[in-house]
Chain A
Amino acid sequence: MKGFFKSSIGKKVLMSVSGLFLILFLLFHLCMNLVVVFSASAYNEVCAFLGSNWYAVAGTMVLAAGFLVHIVYAFILTAQNRKARGTDRYDNQNLPAGVEFASKNMLVLGVIVCCGLLVHFGQFWAKMMYAELAGTEGQFAPTDGAAWINWYFHDSPLAVAFVIVYLVWFAALWLHLNHGFWSAFHTVGLSNNVWIPRLKCIAKWFSTIICAGFAFVVIFAACGGINTKSDCCNKEKCGAKTECHQEAPCNPQTCPNAEQGK
């Protein structure tokens, strides 16, 4: 393997593998998000599960490493490619139909995705996982993910703007995935004349499902679909600051939070 990661194909393999890893992460993330559509409390349970635990932290570190590799190599490869292109540019270049828009603009799309990610981090990760780790308190409890979602996309005065930003973000992600998905397989050599069209087709379906899923959750929230005061305990009744995840109807006698709330 000596010198493998220095070779152009080696670097591309890093992009490919880290990309595939991120794709897998997106799939998990979507599954988690979709839970909120069915049950806010169930979603919050997931949030709690992925809160300040060693495995969640470890997972986050690995994920961050994946992102870092993907981003750093994206810039290294782009810089090299610009150099390889040479200093002179064509006066005009009409690429033939058939070259995907996304494939020519992966870096730009990637940067948009990253920007969206920063917004997303500020809105959720900082308020949830980080808050829990750091022990800071916010508007809602760090494990009350459903409440945060509801706030940003429904209750907040900037909700409409947030929804638009997120939809743009997903559109960029769709394009990025559309090329990235089959390209990743191509780069590690898992493709041939028969599989290129198949992979491209799978890529379309996959990225559409992922992005439409995310968008659906946002729009669902924007429409007020998330009932944060749902089947669990009633805050007015027991005065708890956080939800206790007890089965309805609420029983203040058994509610663990009722005590602290008093």
Chain B
Amino acid sequence: MAEGHKSLNLTLRVWRQANRQAKGEFKVYNVKDISTEASFLEMMDILNEQLINEQVPEGPVAFDHDCREGICGMCSLFINGRAHGPDDDITTCQLHMRKFNDGDTITIEPWRSGGFPIIKDLMVDRTAYDKIMQAGGFVSVSTGGVPDANAIPISKVIADEAMDAAACIGCGACAATCKNGSAMLFVSAKVSQLALLPQGKVEAAKRAKAMVKKMDELGFGNCTNTGACELECPKSVSISHIARLNREFLKANIKD
């Protein structure tokens, strides 16, 4: 490892909330001897092991996580005021403790956005994103009977840009960071990816309308182009996709 590891003693302010309706509050816990080589979630594991052993009434902290390699999009957390913590282009599970100093107080909060109600502690409900996908985030082809993969050449530039958009992991950091609670970056990533590719272009208009409609229904806010979403997006999805969504949506509406 580049520099030898150090250990940290930290004070954690963790949001505890029993369920959606309950009133939440910050609880303060101390953890000791955390290696700078450990990941943030490993630090949370250590905290939970400690809380289990101490048998605290509120129990271990509930938080979402799964792949722990920055791709499943399940981990969330607002750490010291930033979605996915104080580092750029990563998810919480990729954040390492070397980003912190001995003696730091770390504030850990759940995503707070109207679209993502809290389930428990740091765990939030992001099924709204699934619902938006169900409204139109697909190409309507069924299995079988499709043309050869090389039948339609696609410019590398276009394919690359589609891939940039497709890199979205659906973690919700965009809406969680947005002062308007807007899901536009998420919606635009899918609309843009599929509008760029000839396969998706066929129903681009229908898709843009359906996904925006669902997004509005679910109570997400309106984009005011602050650009906070793209800065906090762990996959650096660009707001230029929002411009493309706007364009697609306008086009779709002008046509009919």
Chain A residues with CB under 8 Å of chain B are: 1-4, 6-13, 77, 80-81, 83-96, 98-100, 103-104, 106, 179, 182-183, 186-193, 196
Output the nearest chain A residue to B215 by Cβ-Cβ distance. Answer: A8
Interface centre among A183, A186, A188 (most CB of B within 10 A): A186
- Decide: B240 and A193 in contact? CB cutoff 8 A: yes
Q: List 11 A-B contacts (CB under 8 A).
A: A9-B250, A12-B246, A77-B224, A81-B224, A83-B219, A84-B180, A84-B182, A104-B226, A186-B243, A189-B248, A190-B243
A99's contact among B114, B223, B226, by CB below 8 Å, is which? B226
Give the complex CA separation of A85 and B177 in angstroms: 10
* Number of A-B contacts defined by CB within 8 Å: 155
Chain B residues closer than 8 Å to A3, beta-carbon distance: 213
Interface centre among B80, B213, B226, B238 (most CB of A within 10 A): B226
Chain A residues closer than 8 Å to B231, beta-carbon distance: 95-96, 98-99
Chain A residues closer than 8 Å to B88, beta-carbon distance: 96
- Decide: B221 and A89 in contact? CB cutoff 8 A: no
Chain A residues closer than 8 Å to B228, beta-carbon distance: 95-96, 99
Give the complex CA separation of A2 and B162 in angstroms: 29
B216 at the A/B interface (Cβ < 8 Å)?
yes
Give the complex CA separation of A9 and B24 in angstroms: 34
Chain B residues with CB under 8 Å of chain A are: 13, 15, 24, 26, 78, 80-82, 88, 107, 109, 112-115, 118, 177, 179-182, 212-213, 215-216, 219-228, 231-232, 238-240, 242-251, 253-254, 256
Chain B residues closer than 8 Å to A193, beta-carbon distance: 238, 240
Output the nearest chain B residue to A192 by Cβ-Cβ distance. Answer: B240
Chain B residues closer than 8 Å to A100, beta-carbon distance: 226-227
Output the nearest chain B residue to A74 by Cβ-Cβ distance. Answer: B224
Chain B residues closer than 8 Å to A98, beta-carbon distance: 227, 231
A191's contact among B215, B243, B249, by CB below 8 Å, is which? B243
Known: A81-B224, A85-B114, A189-B247. A92 touches B81 (CB 8 A): yes
Interface centre among B212, B215, B249 (most CB of A within 10 A): B249
- Decide: A7 and B213 in contact? CB cutoff 8 A: yes
